[in-house]
Structure 1
Amino acid sequence: MEILSADFFQRALAGGLMIGITTPLIGIFLVLRRLSMIGDTLAHVTIAGVALGFLVGVYPVGVGLIFAIVASFAIERLRKTYKGYAELSIAIIMSGGVALASLFFTMGMGYNTDVTSYLFGSIFTLETKDLYVALFVTVVVAVVVFLLFKEFFLLTFEEDAAAVSGLPVKLLNILLTVMTALVISTAIKFVGALLISALLTIPAACSLLIARSFKTSVVFSVTIAEIAVVLGLMISGIWNLAPSATIVLLLICMLILTLLGKRGFSA
């Protein structure tokens, strides 16, 4: 258990706990609005930004963050243009993100190994600046969700009613999408672009099975994510396993157990 006192593990644990708060907080709204795939979309766009950051010698996560925010505005604009086909905006932006990432990959073959760490996550290699960025995003997301919880609740379940009641629906949609971009662009170095969607959706999927209200579903979602992160990091650190994969597999196991428990209780 010496690993628990190691600096790299403590940084990973601190970063993981912060990501365990922000991803389910945003994920519960995305799942209920049937926008679960937006996580994969913004993750691919962020990877394109990360690749460009390595190419031009600028902080990769920062460039990825800019790409993700721009993409979030584009998604919201396209979602309004194709009101009856909201998923179309996600597919279009994802295609562009993959194309740009492929282009930047070929332009900078020498840094492909570094970019790959962002695809699968490298939480045990976090630097202090990564934690500061994660802390900033965590505070912003937590404060905004707390202050606008009722507005986001109404927006999630009755967007038309929210507009009729005078809420700034357009602004709220943009704000939620931008926060999603912030969370994803920050979290990809922790769990990787290919696995970030699991932290956004699986805790929400578990909580929706057992929660009796929206507030409790948010609490359960965050709790489930934190448990998976802590246990995943400890298991991967002790047995030298891939931390991101361990966390995601634990989440899947928790979902299976929740489904079995729900089925058994119903029976």
Structure 2
Amino acid sequence: MIEILDYAFMQRALLAALLVGVTAPAVGIYLVQRRQAIMGDGIGHVALTGVALGFLLSRNPVWMAVVVASLGAVAMELIRWYGKARGDLALAMLFYGGMAGGVLIINLAPGGSNANLTTYLFGSITTVSVTDLTAIVVLSMVVLAVTLGLRRQLFAICQDEEFARVTGLPVRALNLLLAVTAAVTVTVAMRVVGLLLVSALMVIPVAAAQQATRGFAATLALSVGFGVLVTLSGAVTSYYADVPPGATIVLLALGLFLLVSLLAVPLTRRRARARGTAEESGTLETTAQGAGV
């Protein structure tokens, strides 16, 4: 298996997979906490418009997607704050408006763009260029700086916005920052798993980690570990089996989730029995004390 490292394109592919495996769950854990697990899908559809604009204007599609996806994420957050529309309606606007804009613009772009667009929709990790990898590295560092450096503040607003506001946290600014970070993460991952599948990589490793851990820090660490495992495994599998990398990574993530869920069942039952035993012991001790024993 080590021979794949002899190829420059696979070196780039594996590094891109590693970075996406780290960043996607690092942002996804906050989205799951806020019950906005499908937010990545909405942003992915908006990013499609950015990719199409990149082709139309002959600019780097990754950076154009960053700009457009970030604007779309900010717009969604502002609608949630100031508008009467609910969060799910704002997500629907991102879904349909982004997809329609992307389809319309790509048809105005020079010929051949439709084929290139497919690599962004479904991922094409083996075609990651040096320019793409540079963008992925820079954007990944930004995402990790936000998600890890501000983890306490972001966790607070995702857990209870009202309490976070009372404690003096800039809730509105942090919400906007989280939305932009999610948008950047989508553009980081689109070359690996594709815009249509990126949300799965942001959510499934987190859901799997939640089955086996308790506590935010442990869940974050394990979800990142799961993310790295499935992205690297998917990249290697796609090379040897000649199958689409994005779909392979997502299916491996689903398989991992099922495996962890099955293994977590006896652990959950053991914890429940231990809790019940402790409660029973406490009750007996209280009764004995009340009886003067």
Partner of 1:59: 60
Task: Give me the whole-angstrom Cα distance separating, in 2, the residues matched to 1:257 and 1:190.
Answer: 23
Superposition map of 1:74-93 within 5 A: 74-82=75-83, 85-93=86-94
Task: Give me the whole-angstrom Cα distance separating, in 2, the residues matched to 1:58 and 1:105.
Answer: 13
Corresponding residue to 2:175 among 168, 173, 176: 173
2:62·2:135 contact (CA, 8 Å) conserved in 1?
no
1:42·1:181 contact (CA, 8 Å) conserved in 2?
yes
Partner of 2:225: 223
Superposition map of 1:196-207 within 5 A: 196-207=198-209
Q: What secondary structure is seen at the aligned counterpart in 1 of 2:169?
A: coil
Task: Give me the whole-angstrom Cα distance separating, in 2, the residues matched to 1:149 and 1:83.
Answer: 29
Partner of 2:262: 260
Superposition map of 1:140-219 within 5 A: 140-219=142-221
Task: Answer with 53-62 or 214-223: which moved more.
Answer: 53-62
Task: Tell me the CA shift for residue 110 of structure 1.
Answer: 3.3
Task: Give me the whole-angstrom Cα distance separating, in 2, the residues matched to 1:21 and 1:266.
Answer: 27
Task: Give me the whole-angstrom Cα distance separating, in 2, the residues matched to 1:226 and 1:34.
Answer: 23
Task: Answer with 130-139 or 164-173: which moved more.
Answer: 130-139
Higher Rg of the two aligned structures: 2
Q: What secondary structure is seen at the aligned counterpart in 1 of 2:112?
A: helix
Compared CA separation, residues 54 and 238, structure 1 to 2 (3 A) = same
* Number of equivalent positions: 267
Over aligned residues, Cα RMSD in angstroms?
Answer: 1.4
Query: How many percent identity over aligned positions?
Result: 37
Structure 1, residues 41-95: CA drift from partner, whole Å, max 9, x if none? Answer: 1111111111121112111111111110110110111111357822111111221
2:79·2:85 contact (CA, 8 Å) conserved in 1?
no
The letter for the 2-side match of 1:57 is: S
Task: Tell me the CA shift for residue 147 of structure 1.
Answer: 2.1
Structure 1, residues 222-248: CA drift from partner, whole Å, max 9, x if none? Answer: 000001111111122122221111111
Partner of 2:105: 104
Task: Give me the whole-angstrom Cα distance separating, in 1, the residues matched to 2:24 and 2:75.
Answer: 21
Partner of 2:119: 117
Task: Give me the whole-angstrom Cα distance separating, in 2, the residues matched to 1:140 and 1:117.
Answer: 24
Task: Answer with 80-89 or 57-66: which moved more.
Answer: 80-89
Where does the alignment leave 5 or more consecutive residues of structure 1 unmatched? none
Task: Give me the whole-angstrom Cα distance separating, in 1, the residues matched to 2:213 and 2:83.
Answer: 33
Please say if 1:73 is aligned against 2:74. Answer: yes
Task: Give me the whole-angstrom Cα distance separating, in 1, the residues matched to 2:219 and 2:90.
Answer: 28
Where does the alignment leave 5 or more consecutive residues of structure 2 unmatched? 270-293
Task: Give me the whole-angstrom Cα distance separating, in 2, the residues matched to 1:134 and 1:196.
Answer: 14
Structure 1, residues 106-153: CA drift from partner, whole Å, max 9, x if none? Answer: 323531001111011011011112111111112112122222111111
TM-score, L = length of structure 1: 0.96
Task: Tell me the CA shift for residue 3 of structure 1.
Answer: 2.2
TM-score, L = length of structure 2: 0.87
1:82·1:88 contact (CA, 8 Å) conserved in 2?
no
Partner of 2:276: none
1:82·1:89 contact (CA, 8 Å) conserved in 2?
no
Task: Answer with 113-122 or 144-153: which moved more.
Answer: 144-153
Task: Give me the whole-angstrom Cα distance separating, in 2, the residues matched to 1:194 and 1:89.
Answer: 18
